[in-house]
Each structure stands twice: as C-alpha cells, then as structure tokens.
Amino acid sequence: EAGVAQSPRYKIIEKRQSVAFWCNPISGHATLYWYQQILGQGPKLLIQFQNNGVVDDSQLPKDRFSAERLKGVDSTLKIQPAKLEDSAVYLCASSPRIRENEKLFFGSGTQLSVL
C-alpha cells in the first residue's frame, strides 16, 4: 500500500513570495490533514478535510494560508505572502474516515525555509 505522498521535499523562498505544497493521501482515505511543525515543537493542525469539505480550519492563518481538496483526493496548501515565521515542516496526513480514534498516516513532509 502506497503511503501519503508530498512534494516538493524542500523549498526555499524569500519573504513575501508565494509557495504551494501538494499532498496525495493514501487511496481511499476520506480524511486529510495539514500540520505545521516548527523546529523544536510538535506538529500543529492547520486544517482538516473530510472528503472535499473543511471540518476544522480554526488554526489556519486565513489572511495568508489557503488550502483546497478538489474532488476529495489530492490537496494543496498555499502560503501567500510568506513570512519568516512560516519556516517549518508542513506535514500532510490522512485517515480512512473521521471515526473516533482513527490513527493518522503521515507523509514525509515539505521543509520550507523563508529567508
């Protein structure tokens, strides 16, 4: 079974530039998550999708971050414009459904450096 795929693996941009990350979840997984992990901290949930609908985006900085999951499969996370404090690893995760206590499967992440 293929895992969660993310690209690019690394990205370096200057502040105020735009950047986009892509995620392909495990086939058949209805729920998709984007997490932000800043160095020295644990992952923090940015947004959660159930199929192509948003379940929770309460911690997404909506003035600069946006995410979509067209057709309920792949997802993209965009930052526009980027700030220095956005430097982090962006992790995508998926789970079969939103059933209680469902474990998450994580991708390898995209490491973003904002200079």
Partner 1 sequence: DQQVKQNSPSLSVQEGRISILNCDYTNSMFDYFLWYKKYPAEGPTFLISISSIKDKNEDGRFTVFLNKSAKHLSLHIVPSQPGDSAVYFCAAKLNGNKLVFGAGTILRVKS
Q: Which residues bind partner 1 (CB under 8 A)?
A: 4, 31, 40-45, 48, 55-56, 91, 93, 95, 98-109
CB of 110 to partner 1, least distance (A): 11
CB of 82 to partner 1, least distance (A): 22
Cβ proximity to partner 1: between 1 and 40 the closer is 40
* Cα–Cα nearest to 45, from 53, 54, 55, 34: 34
Cβ proximity to partner 1: between 22 and 106 the closer is 106
Q: How many Å apart are CA 6 and CA 25, to the nearest integer?
A: 9
Residue 97: strand, helix, or coil: coil
CB of 52 to partner 1, least distance (A): 17
Chain-centroid distance, C-alpha 4: 11
Non-local CB neighbours of 58 within 8 Å, separated by 6+ positions: none
Cβ proximity to partner 1: between 27 and 41 the closer is 41
